[in-house]
A = this chain, B = another copy of it.
Amino acid sequence: MKKIINRPENVVDEMLEGMAAAHPDTLKRLPDSNVLVRNEAPVLGKVGLVSGGGSGHEPAHAGFVGENMLDAAVAGEVFTSPTPDQIFEAVKAVDSGNGVLLIVKNYSGDVMNFEMAAEMAEAEGIRTEQVVIKDDAAVEKEDDRRGVAGTIFVHKIVGTAVEEGLNLDEAAELARHTAENVRSMGVSLKPGVVPASGQPGFTLQEDEMELGTGIHGEPGMERKPMQEADRLTEELLEKVLDDMDVAAGEDVAIMTNGQGSTPLMELYIVHRKVAQMLKERNIHLKQSMVGEYMTSLEMAGCSLSILRLDETLKKYLL
């Protein structure tokens, strides 16, 4: 597997350096850290918003740092949660005295590292709240559900809301409310390759696909013969609609997310079927996001995330 990198152990550092060099008007890198912080941070009077996770999911998370989004993003090694000291640096950098909300994806490592960071913050007198996102409809048991692409909806909605003055408890409440209304389901055709190992995370035959794959290439519900776009879209969309009992007449937003190497052409072919199916069910598609939001290196495949919209969510999203 060919990669445009230098030494594998430097990919995260060099990527962050590149991001900081590319977007000096928006963000800066905290010295000696893997934290990218919005230039204006800490924004006076505003609750700070911090997210993060392993690297390899770009543009998540640093790509979502900015106005109406995150105040800081913390990058771990590739597919490895960031460490508590780094998260804590981010918390300190964005706290304006109004506390900091941590948006965490439900992976053991992420949950534990953010929890430890929160303990460090508490010890220093900084208030934090954590919201753990569990949007992956592929997993049955609610507690085990992973946080995947739907997390971006939470960033966006809460990011906008805190800009308008919500306090920490209100922000946490809104984040939980948003998370409850998000479901995601992914399918993968080809794994990504972690730079350090140079090995694919799993193997699939030419005629196979894997339904419900996680964002690090962990396996999902089942391996199936490859299907055409419309059948595959039906499987994904029906799963998320059913899982949340979306009813006729409701309003939704949909993210059709590419996992890294799927051409945008294919994402739009999928999205076309999504729009058709929603129309048939009289569900109103109020907003579409089609592109790469939460990737897994060069994994091929896509995920659908649905957000059920009520008046509150519409206010901050649309």
- Seen from chain A, the residues whose Cβ lies within 8 Å of a Cβ on chain B are 2-7, 11, 14-19, 21-23, 55-56, 58-59, 63, 189-190, 192, 206-207, 209, 226, 228-230, 232, 256, 260-276, 285, 288, 290-292, 295, 297-298, 300-302
Which B residues touch A228, using CB under 8 A? 5-7
Contact partner, A263, options B17, B19, B275, B298, Cβ 8 Å: B298
Contact partner, A262, options B229, B272, B298, Cβ 8 Å: B298
Contact partner, A261, options B14, B16, B261, B275, Cβ 8 Å: B261
Which B residues touch A298, using CB under 8 A? 261-263, 300
Copies of this chain per assembly: 2
Which B residues touch A3, using CB under 8 A? 266
Q: Could you tell me if A268 and B230 are in contact, using CB atoms closer than 8 angstroms? A: no
Which B residues touch A291, using CB under 8 A? 59
Q: Could you tell me if B15 and A268 are in contact, using CB atoms closer than 8 angstroms? A: yes
3 closest Cβ pairs, A-B complex: A261-B261, A18-B268, A18-B272
- Cα distance, A125 to B271, chains bound together (Å): 39
Q: Could you tell me if A297 and B22 are in contact, using CB atoms closer than 8 angstroms? A: no
Closest approach, in angstroms, between the C-beta of A224 and any C-beta of chain B? 12
- Cα distance, A23 to B262, chains bound together (Å): 20
Residue of B nearest to A228 (CB): B6
Contact partner, A269, options B2, B4, B269, B272, Cβ 8 Å: B4
Closest approach, in angstroms, between the C-beta of A1 and any C-beta of chain B? 8
Q: Could you tell me if B63 and A264 are in contact, using CB atoms closer than 8 angstroms? A: yes
- Cα distance, A162 to B59, chains bound together (Å): 32
- Cα distance, A27 to B197, chains bound together (Å): 44
Residue of B nearest to A254 (CB): B22
Q: Could you tell me if A265 and B58 are in contact, using CB atoms closer than 8 angstroms? A: yes
Given known contacts A228-B6, A269-B14, A300-B2, is B21 in contact with A295 (CB within 8 Å)?
Answer: no
- Cα distance, A276 to B229, chains bound together (Å): 43
Given known contacts A228-B5, A269-B11, is B288 in contact with A21 (CB within 8 Å)?
Answer: yes
Contact partner, A2, options B226, B295, B302, Cβ 8 Å: B226
Residue of B nearest to A3 (CB): B266
Given known contacts A4-B189, A229-B5, A288-B22, is B265 in contact with A15 (CB within 8 Å)?
Answer: yes
- Cα distance, A292 to B58, chains bound together (Å): 12
